Structure 1
């Protein structure tokens, strides 16, 4: 199963706020021997979000969607998800209870009586309107839940909420997958060789080791190595080690200068 990430919000695309979800998703997955296959950034455009979610639902990938599940006019994710699925939004009974309890707590903190029929509290219940058939994703920060439909999981835009919810999904829904995508990455720093010169070797190593990907990362101004190419392989540990030795032998045949080795 692939893992994907969708980050939603005009504030990300405008630079008003910096995205923190991509780096955290990579970190949480890597800690569990999993990896992120793709990521998308979207603005607050309902039709654009709906189109992206249709693809996500069809993909069969496990997808974390962060942002836009509130109840203000610029939040479109819940409505876009329902549109993508062709189902109505409905107030989820468990979400209703969780949000109501949150409202009770807020009233108690302020020392005022709880009024479930106040306009503000009625609007807050909109945050519990999910596409029909959705399941709850618990929010340990303030009880206001996210939701899942199939393998697509909808989380708040706030990192302090979204990231524990993402961890919960990985450790419950996807616990059986942990460790199945663990990879080893090994590389050389190659000096004085162009990528064009290295390409035939890269193609040969990748053809001989079908589980492995070969990569090159050129740099022109590295503070330590100057102009160089980081040339390496990544894949399952045993396959990556075998491919790396073939890479080493190929570089020796090319008589290029290569030095430091890195393992990740």
Structure 2
């Protein structure tokens, strides 16, 4: 017997691709561990969206610029974490400007925020925190008021989670409210026993071709058992239809299956 198990944290390639850039040598050296990706996944899930990709980039300016050239050349919505301070090792603002082919400028709204917060102490150094690519827009910071910035669909926030996460939430609710989906994604799972992957390729392909609105994946057991877990992911109705078709095809082929309770 097989059972459907809802997992609202996953889904198909529906809507825009959303990615994150995690910036900092401290992440690559292991000095710090990333906390942003799980938080972003949860924030997106709450709005019926999901994360498409994540990249980890050090403080190498040339590499960061090259990465931003690529991501800015796409239609993706991108959240970038870290490197927007005023110290010499913070290079994200400069790399974003070069990648976009724009000059850096002191943002008028950002300057007003810093001058209101710091007064004369905004100069000569703190002011660089609002020196952004031309045409950037403010992302409000509810913690210490030092803003991040948006450039097109790229959104740059600090590396500090207590600041970054509400800023990402504000961007999602302010600029992308029309993308929010009330209906959450689900995942349906079934285990297949004593059958090699090679024997399932044709069956899997036929179900995928018939149900393009969902994503179907197979995951062999890593513990030496001859077992494969099939996952069908998508909006509830198309995912349920594809899952039923997959189970029917397995049964018709006399392939042994069993229920999977959770992932």
CA gap of 1:128–1:17, structure 2 versus 1, over 3 A, is same
Residue 128 of structure 1, CA deviation = 1.0
**1:130-171 residue CA offsets vs partner (Å, 9 max, x unmatched):** 111100000101000000011110111111111110000111
Q: For residue 127 of structure 1, what is the aligned residue in structure 2?
A: 129
Q: Is residue 255 from structure 1 mapped to residue 254 from structure 2 by the alignment?
A: yes
**1:1-36 residue CA offsets vs partner (Å, 9 max, x unmatched):** 221111111111111100111111111111110011
Moved over 6 A (4+): none
Residue 184 of structure 1, CA deviation = 2.3
| Greater RCO (Cα-Cα under 8 Å, separation 6 or more) | 2
Separation in 1 of the partners of 2:261 and 2:197? 19
**1:228-248 residue CA offsets vs partner (Å, 9 max, x unmatched):** 221121123221111111111
Q: For residue 175 of structure 2, what is the aligned residue in structure 1?
A: 173
Write the mapping of 1:146-165 to structure 2, written as runs, cut at 5 A. Answer: 146-165=148-167
CA gap of 1:210–1:148, structure 2 versus 1, over 3 A, is same
Q: For residue 73 of structure 2, what is the aligned residue in structure 1?
A: 58
User: 2:38 aligned to 14, 18, 23, which one?
Assistant: 23
TM-score, length-scaled by structure 1: 0.88
Q: Is residue 145 from structure 1 mapped to residue 152 from structure 2 by the alignment?
A: no
* Root mean square deviation of aligned Cα: 2.0
More strand by share: 1
Contact 1:186/1:262, CA 8 A, preserved across alignment: no
CA gap of 1:262–1:173, structure 2 versus 1, over 3 A, is farther
**1:38-72 residue CA offsets vs partner (Å, 9 max, x unmatched):** 11111101111111112222212111011110111
Q: For residue 7 of structure 2, what is the aligned residue in structure 1?
A: none
CA gap of 1:181–1:136, structure 2 versus 1, over 3 A, is farther
Contact 1:147/1:154, CA 8 A, preserved across alignment: yes
**3-state DSSP class of the match of 1:72?**
coil
Separation in 2 of the partners of 1:197 and 1:102? 66
Q: For residue 112 of structure 1, what is the aligned residue in structure 2?
A: none
Separation in 2 of the partners of 1:13 and 1:197? 40
User: 1:200 aligned to 202, 208, 211, which one?
Assistant: 202
Q: Mark the structure with the bigger radius of gyration.
A: 1
Contact 1:69/1:76, CA 8 A, preserved across alignment: yes
**3-state DSSP class of the match of 1:126?**
helix
Residue 261 of structure 1, CA deviation = 4.2
Separation in 1 of the partners of 2:102 and 2:159? 24
Residue 249 of structure 1, CA deviation = 1.1
Residue 181 of structure 1, CA deviation = 8.3
Query: How many residues are matched?
Result: 248
TM-score, length-scaled by structure 2: 0.88
Unaligned ranges ≥5, structure 2: 1-15
